[in-house]
Amino acid sequence: MELHLGMDEEPTKSLWVRIKGRAGAGDIIAGVCYRPPDQGDRADEALYRQVGAASLSQALVLMGDFNHPDICWRENTAECKQSRKFLECVDDNFLLQVTEEPTRRGAMLDLVLTNKEGLVGDVKLKDSLGCSDHEMVEFRILRAARRAHSKLTTLDFRRADFGLLRDLLGRIAWDKALEGRGAQDSWPIFKGHLLQAQERCIPTKRKSSKTTKRPP
């Protein structure tokens, strides 16, 4: 798989491959990444652009050591600015993080992310490999990931209550919520309130996986 980036892009320690699917099954994009603890913002942004391009595929599995020990995956929060930017990348590309246990000295550094629920399963930790002080993460890519009975959902705007949505967002004291914050720090706060209101006001419906044939 080729990810076309600009000539001035910072180099990243990442590798992307395409796993060809069997007849009737789509391809899977697999990415492996190592992010050094001292990696700069430009290299981070280059990596996030790669993730964004790869996540456009129907099936993506991204794994590696991203060195964000301060992220709390249960609460989806982080202390460091770079870790918060990584969480934004995960959210913006609709990725699901499936590692649940620490992989090195109580920290969850080695992650497995996917953009398709049910694609990754049987995730478990094993003893470290060689002289590494990281636990080894073992998992399976489930190639037959329920294609026939898709559980993908989409927002049903026809049944949305936009009046309630405006009311809920209007009740928030935005001046206090965003006080002293720049655009980058304000965005996840705004997005969080918007998604909470959206969940209450806009129902979802199952997205059909069948394609409708047009008459000749």
Which pLDDT tens digit goes with each residue over 98-124? Answer: 887 776 666 677 888 998 888 887 777
Model confidence band, residue 31 (pLDDT cutoffs 50, 70, 90): very high
Q: Is pTM, for the whole model, over 0.85? A: no
pLDDT at site 84: 92
Which pLDDT tens digit goes with each residue over 36-61? Answer: 988 899 999 999 999 988 888 878 99
Mean pLDDT score, 116-136: 73
CB contact set of 52 (below 8 Å; sequence gap of 6+)? 89, 92, 93
Is there a contact between 186 and 178 (Cβ–Cβ < 8 Å)? yes
Residue 138: other Cβ atoms inside 10 A: 11
C-alpha angle with apex 65: 59 to 70, nearest 5 degrees?
110
Listed by start position, the domains of the chain span 13-141, 153-206
Give the chain's mean pLDDT: 79
CA-based torsion, 83, 88, 93, 96: positive or negative: positive
Q: Which two tokens stand for residue 83?
A: 């870790």
Determine the Cα–Cα distance for residues 200 and 196; give it in Å rounded to an integer: 7
Q: Torsion angle of alpha carbons 64, 69, 70, 73, nearest 10°?
A: 50
Element (H or E) spanning 88, and its range? Answer: helix 81-92
What is the CATH number that goes with domain 13-141? 3.60.10.10
pLDDT at site 44: 92
pLDDT at site 129: 62
Residue 110: other Cβ atoms inside 10 A: 21
What percentage of residues in the chain have a pLDDT greater than 90? Answer: 11
Checking if the pLDDT of 64 tops 80, the result is yes
Mean pLDDT score, 187-214: 74
